[in-house]
Amino acid sequence: MIQLATLLKNRSYLSEACELLKEAVDMNRHLHGTRSLVVAETLSLLGMVLKSKSQYLDAIESYEECRAIRREHLGIEHQLVAKTTHDIGLVYWSK
């Protein structure tokens, strides 16, 4: 499902990609737990698509949750936490 959403995003089918990623977030929460790294990765992809759709507040919300989960699992100094913080900054810059 995530691979299909990525393909759709790359081909500019942003609405379809967004819907698939929202479903994937829900499915991953159910399968892996609400605070799993799998959920964080899916939220990161969702944030990217939402940013591409100019849905900046929703993108920030998705990235913020992703960053919180990654901090819990990986610690504040991990590169994925830094990357997510950078992604949040890019959303603010795009506004």
**pLDDT digit string, tens, across residues 12-44:** 788 888 999 999 999 999 999 999 999 999 999
Residue 54: φ, ψ to 5°: 65, 25
* Chain centroid offset of residue 63 CA: 5
In Å, what is the CA distance from 9 to each residue of 35, 44, 46, 72, 79?
Answer: 25, 13, 10, 29, 24
Q: Residue with structure tokens 């830094």? A: 82
pLDDT reading at 1 higher than 70? no
Residue 2, pLDDT score:
66
CA distance 67 to 43: 9
